[in-house]
Amino acid sequence: MSTIDLKLRPTTAAAASITVPLGASRPWLDWTRLALGTASRVVLYSLLGLMVYAAAPAALGWSPSTVMTGSMEPRIHPGDVVVAKPVAASDVHRGQVLLVDDPDQAGHLRLHRYHDNGQAGQIVTKGDANPSVDSTPIDRSAVIGVGFLRVPYVGTPFVWAAAHQYGHLLVTGGLLILVVLLSRNDRYLLRDERPASPRVTVPAGRRVQRRRERRLRRLRTAGGAIGLAAIGGGLALTLVVSGGAHAAFAAPTANPTSSFGAGNYDCLQDTYNSQTSYGFPYNETSGTTTADGSSFARVGTLSGGATFVAGSCATNQSPYLQLDGTGQVTTAVNLTGQAAFTIETWFRTTSTAGGTLAAFTTAQTGTNTTADRALYLTTAGKIVLGVRPTTTTTKATTTHASYNDGAWHHVVATLSGTSTVVYVDGVAVVTDSTNKTVQTATGYWRVGYAPLSGLPSAPTNGYFVGSVDGTTIYNNSAQSASAVQARYAAGH
């Protein structure tokens, strides 16, 4: 056990000496400092490692950009860093997120999605959250790269600075300085600053001097930490500001600060042809609306028990919509239902209650309405396309097999002036040449629910229980067999 021995000489002029054992101070304080210092260094070294990792794409000639506005929400948020990969002009296609020279502001950049083709080979872009396309198309030569990686929120300090939210910057800077100080607070424990012998005899006259030396070491430690934090903060600020000096929507940064959570998001975007009226890939992670990927950009609204489920970029592992038997997706645009149409969706269920996958109804919401052009499941799990050729007659094309087996299935139902064809998993499972006419009426498309009363083999409850993905409506087109097979091969 550690002790303190006092040796006093019996003379008034003699110098007293003190024997001080190593570690006789408060060990719990040393252990606390060591734990905090270690944790702080882990945080700092992790941030440094992420910075180095995130800087690698820039060395390859890729272009990191800091997102400044919310025009690409919900997929991309202000403060995200997006890395654009240079690609050949032939590899640029609709649905991709492009980093381009802003045609409306010289020297600025724009990060928007390739929405459609313009005249003379130009590209029409659009922000996912914007109600309309960008006013000025861009030339293909203005494309800097295609969005490949998203680094969430690491450019947020730059967004704060641009918005003059200096309070946020001060708090964040203060926390960073605190972490740096804690990382150095246990330095004396990691260095052999104490003698190796178990006891040290210190003349009493030098005690005050030793205390002063310890204070000076602490001041030097604190001063060095503050200086390190100031240098690091100044370097980070220099990198961000110099990279974002010409920011419009997005600004390139010389060195993005992190790659934590980075992922390829372009693979989640579907490609739709010019005949698409609605295209819902359900790639959102939260919220009550789902984006329409067609050129019309008509938003769908979730209600009741309709929720998004996260996924990944792996084949057939994309995010999807879950319906619990009380929810649906409604649309707000009143369309004229044409004589030819196609309903396409992926679905998965084990329910024996049946329910609507998608249907055309006379009212946007509610149950007191009429459903037509309805794709639904019977209680036996069979797929049905029900239509109303007149106001008093109904017809249906029904598959023979059941599909409530818990596996994902791709179903496409088409009606033309020749016949009705139902494809399941890329194969035409039934062709009905007697069922080829339908009323021309106005209404709204819904997903997950429709009042099916009067339609053949319809379940009592029109709500669907299960998962759906990639719901696509072609309001004036019967898609060909080759187009259906290509969509099935692409997966969901």
Structural domains in the chain plus CATH codes:
17-269 (2.10.109.10), 270-490 (2.60.120.200)
Mean pLDDT estimate for the chain: 77
Q: Quick check: 31 pLDDT over 80?
A: no
Res 195: pLDDT: 43
Q: Quick check: 25 pLDDT over 90?
A: no
pLDDT band of 321, cuts 50, 70, 90: very high
pTM recorded for the entire structure: 0.51
Q: What are phi and psi of 370, to 5 degrees?
A: -115, 135
DSSP annotation of 277 reads S
Q: Quick check: 169 pLDDT over 70?
A: yes
Res 215: pLDDT: 60
73-87, 112-126, 344-358, range with greatest mean pLDDT: 344-358
Res 247: pLDDT: 32
Tokens representing residue 261 in the block: 């959570």
Q: Quick check: 260 pLDDT over 50?
A: no
Give the mean model confidence (pLDDT) for residues 170-176: 81
Give the DSSP letter string of 350-406.
Answer: --SS-EEEEEEESSSSSSSS-EEEEEEE-TTS-EEEEE-SSSS--EEEE-SS---SS
Q: How many CB atoms lie within 10 A of CB 229?
A: 18
Res 87: pLDDT: 85
Tokens representing residue 292 in the block: 């329409």
